[in-house]
Amino acid sequence: MRFLKLTVLLTSVVVLASSCSSGPVNIPDTATPAEIVQRAQEASDRNRYNQALGYYETILERFPSSNDYACAAEYEIAFIHYKQKKYELSESEFRELLARYDAPDAELLPPQYKILSNIVITKIDERKK
């Protein structure tokens, strides 16, 4: 009986430890952008930022011509870095995203990421003062 309890306990610890890991993500080739974004958001909500970054980077690799998903991924990557207090990196990434809104065909980009990026950059600027 004692052996069984120890085995159950060790199995539980292993399962719990592996579920909390933030190792590389395995994304099926058939995953849609919406599915990948959903997984990224779930990982970010659980503070598994490395996993979330992996998902968002996959969006950029697989769907670079999708303005909606690419802008969302770029914004979320920058925002994760902001939450990680990597302010210089985050600001640079937000500014790169904002530069897309100054390029031709900017009207095709989702407007919310321009607005949100400017809000976070303002917060970063306030921290510098």
Q: Give the mean pLDDT of 30-38.
A: 97
| Residue 109, domain member (yes or no) | yes
- Answer whether residue 7 is part of any domain: no
> Could you tell me if residue 108 is inside a domain?
yes
Kindly report the average pLDDT of the chain as a whole number. Answer: 86
Give the pLDDT score at 27: 94
Helix (H) or strand (E) holding 40: helix 33-45
Q: Is the pLDDT of residue 15 over 70?
A: no
Query: 2 lies in a domain?
Result: no
Decide if pLDDT at 129 tops 50.
Answer: yes
Residue-number span of the structural domain to which 89 is assigned: 30-128
| pLDDT for the residue numbered 46 | 97
Please give the tally of structural domains in the chain.
Answer: 1
d(CA 82, CA 34): 23
Residue 21 within any structural domain of the chain: no
CATH code, domain carrying 123:
1.25.40.10
